[in-house]
Amino acid sequence: MYTIAPPSSKKIFTLALFLLSMNILLNAQNEKAKPEDTEFYTPVPKIVTPGKTDAEAPSDALVLFDGKNLDQWHAEGDSTRAAGWKVQNGIVTVDKKSGGIITRQTFSDYQLHIEYRIPKNITGSGQARGNSGIYLAAIDNDGGDVGYELQVLDNYNNTTYVNGQAGSIYKQSVPLANPCRKPGEWQAYEVVWTAPRFKDDGTLDSPARVTVFLNGVLVQNNFALKGVTQYIGQPYYKMHGPAPIKLQAHGDKSEPISYRNIWIRRL
């Protein structure tokens, strides 16, 4: 029978001596260390002038909607068609008949600020009450519903499946809290998006990740997406590069919602 012999007392003594001398050495090194050894002066972070309020774009942001026009957007399904939503009094309101709107520019990793308002007179229930959505990357560009949706919905006093309420990554991740404001009040999303990476053969290298604050409250904490968000079926990944952002025109019959102050910072 094979047995492992216990270490001899000589071996234990040698090990203890070794650890003790390492400790003495480390202490000696730390005594010689200066504060400057661990202080760096490059690279210098670029200067960014913040907006006067959280809603206002910082100096290095690309403004996607400033209340005046939808020049940064086109209609879903046709990149030659202008975005058909109504701009009035500094806000843009969804036009369900004309479909969603998509940014003309594409993005990889970014920080996004966007505000929405559910109309005060909203009707309907469940998913049919102020439904819209922010496709953080709309990967079939011109149209369709393929992408990663951050849900927009009235959940102030409206229940639905929890992985489909406001603040959810649709049917993948339940929000960590429900900080929804009353219909009629403006609400703000702050999003940090890390695009998925793919290998040359098209397989996934690293998943998309997202951190989201709704009205200043953390609702998604560095969530790793399982793939594109699906109404029916399981999420999956399909290789893509930089992609536009889409705002959804949902087909429910409730009163259309509005957006304002949309800006993005490439990371």
For residue 201, CA distances in Å to 138, 155, 197, 235 come to: 21, 41, 12, 20
| Choice between 129 and 265, CB closer to Mg ion | 129
| Choice between 74 and 250, CB closer to Mg ion | 250
CB of 41 to Mg ion, least distance (A): 47
Q: Does 256 bind Mg ion (CB under 5 A)?
A: no
Q: How many residues bind Mg ion (CB under 5 A)?
A: 2
SS (H, E, C) the chain: CCCCCCCCHHHHHHHHHHHHHHHHHHHHHHHHCCHHHHCCCCCCCCCCCCCCCCCCCCCCCEEEECCCCCCCEEECCCCCCECCCEEECCEEECCHHHCCEEECCCECCEEEEEEEECCCCCCCCCCCCCCEEEEEEECCCCCCCCEEEEEECCCCCCCCCHHHCCCCECCCECCCCCCCCCCCCEEEEEEEEECCEECCCCCEEECCEEEEEECCEEEEEEEECCCCCCCCCCCCCCCCCCECCEECCCCCCCCCCEEEEEEEEEC
| Choice between 61 and 152, CB closer to Mg ion | 152
CB of 99 to Mg ion, least distance (A): 13
Query: Binding segment for Mg ion among 24-32, 130-138, 179-187, 232-240 (CB under 5 A)?
Result: 130-138
Q: Which of 103, 131, 155, 261 binds Mg ion (CB under 5 A)?
A: 131
| Choice between 113 and 171, CB closer to Mg ion | 171
| Choice between 134 and 243, CB closer to Mg ion | 134
Residue nearest to Mg ion (CB): 133
CB of 152 to Mg ion, least distance (A): 6
CB of 100 to Mg ion, least distance (A): 10
Query: Binding segment for Mg ion among 52-60, 85-93, 126-134, 215-223 (CB under 5 A)?
Result: 126-134
Segment 133 to 172, residues that bind Mg ion, using CB under 5 A: 133
Residue 20 sits at φ, ψ, to 5 deg, of -65, -45
Query: Binding segment for Mg ion among 13-21, 66-74, 123-131, 155-163 (CB under 5 A)?
Result: 123-131
CB of 164 to Mg ion, least distance (A): 8
| Choice between 57 and 249, CB closer to Mg ion | 249
**Cβ-based neighbours of 156, under 8 Å, separated by 6 or more:** 118, 180, 181, 182, 183
CB of 127 to Mg ion, least distance (A): 7
CB of 129 to Mg ion, least distance (A): 11
| Interface residues toward Mg ion, by CB under 5 A | 131, 133
